[in-house]
Structure 1
């Protein structure tokens, strides 16, 4: 598996990965919230202009995705999705780590995301990665409850190497 930046020609595959990833939870969303959660290819193409988007690729197939929207000193993460058949392989973690590397490189101070309380595995991953729940909104997406999670971004401080002279 490798992770790379998404390009416009990935839009259809990304939309498919998101739709398949969230399909099992469709009944927990309101219809409008599910539609907002599963963007169409043309919406994915627009998102490419809003901020970075990454895809995880296995054997020439996109199996995961994550997008981000820079907002001043924070990076809003959205649409983390991994195909059901590819889960449990560290793909979601890898995508989240890629976003954090981007944040460090761009002097972002906080990562922010919204999820739903019924996505327990996602919440577990976010917690393992250092995210904490926040009282900041939003609190719902078209009638589906949301949970906001934040993580401070810690810049990498390089220590000088000892001289070998």
Structure 2
């Protein structure tokens, strides 16, 4: 049974690491969704302000109004590009987190498979020991029976 101690420790450590990787993956997934939502919101703002500018131009906007909208849209475009980069970074982080979780999960499965194999081998060995002990007990009882039968005659 001492062989089970190290594999049990390794299995528990792998389980802890897998759980940590799963929590990290959940946080990365949330960050990825948040970044994607922010990007979508900025793109919606961009469309709305573009429509407003077109409407304003159709009504005869002043140069100052047109310049203000253009500057705002340029700033919004810079924000969109920044958020695209953040969203791409969040997606890459999510991919790395997913790979780490999968790696940890495979390691845990390997340790659990090995532990199961050890348990089965131990059970088979114990079964053989029990059978041997039972056979020896039966042989002793049979010997004792033959010896008693010889004494009675």
| TM-score strictly above 0.5 | no
TM-score, normalization by structure 2: 0.20
TM-score, normalization by structure 1: 0.19
Highest CA radius of gyration, 1 or 2?
2
Higher relative contact order (CA 8 A, sep 6+): 2
Task: Flag the structure with higher helix content.
Answer: 2
